[in-house]
Copies of this chain bind each other. A is one copy, B any other.
Amino acid sequence: MKLFDGGRAPNPRRVRVFLAEKGIEVPVAPVDMAAMEHRGPDVSSRNPLQRLPVLELDDGTVLCESIAICRYFEEIQPEPALFGRGAVGKALVEMWQRRMELNLLFPVAQAFRHIHPAMKGWEVPQVPDWGEANKPKAIEFLRLLDKELREREFIAGDDYSVADITGLVALDFMKPARIAVPEELANVLRWHRAIAARPSAAA
């Protein structure tokens, strides 16, 4: 199997952190996103959406979408469980993974893509007003998250999960997107410090 990986972008990092938590090593085919190689033939022929990461299995099956790739590895190596345990546990992880993605990672990415001058060729057309509108959305969600994290250690409950991975990647992406985490959100900051200190965060 082979993972087409593009370095610093948030979605490839989600898969790398996931694999590090599982202790799985996958041969990497590096793709230079800065040189737009993800729009070249190697990626385009496998993912017509021209996005990374892309996982190619030994039989030629191609899996795209970071969470779908993570799900594949959860299925072939269930431990440690990162998508939850039992019907309710799995549903709660899915709920929180989606909340972190749709209410934090997504708005942060929109702010970055629609405002940063380097993204002009990536996001066509850039709509700076939409980018700006997303900054308070991200902050508002973090305020809600701060209340939730008063009562538990991780995003989806007592165990680390893929929801924490999406959260880590989203929070770290706030820096290039130029959105500051409000200092008073002590629970969010405590959670982020703990997650960022895990060896997997370096992936």
Residues of B within 8 A of A196 (CB): none
Chain B residues with CB under 8 Å of A144's CB are: 48-49
Say whether A103 faces chain B, with CB atoms less than 8 Å apart. Answer: yes
What is the distance, in angstroms, from A76's C-beta to the closest C-beta of chain B? 5
The reply to whether B72 and A76 form a contact with Cβ atoms under 8 Å apart is: no
Nearest B residue to A64, CB-CB: B95
Cα of A67 to Cα of B90 in the assembled complex, Å: 11
A125 at the interface (CB under 8 A from B): yes
Copies of this chain in the oligomer:
2
B-contact 0/1 string along A111-133, CB 8 Å cutoff: 00000000000000101011001
- Given known A57-B88, A88-B57, A125-B133, contact A94–B75 (CB-CB < 8 A): no
Query: Which of B71, B87, B125, B127 is in CB contact (< 8 Å) with A72?
Result: B87
Task: A147 to B49: give the CA distance in the assembly, Å.
Answer: 13
Q: Which of A85-117 contact B (CB under 8 A)?
A: 86-88, 90-92, 94-95, 98-99, 103
Residue of B nearest to A94 (CB): B68
For this complex, 17 residue pairs linking A to B, each with C-beta atoms less than 8 Å apart, are A48-B144, A49-B99, A49-B103, A64-B95, A65-B94, A65-B95, A65-B99, A67-B98, A68-B94, A68-B95, A68-B98, A71-B94, A75-B86, A75-B87, A75-B91, A127-B129, A127-B133
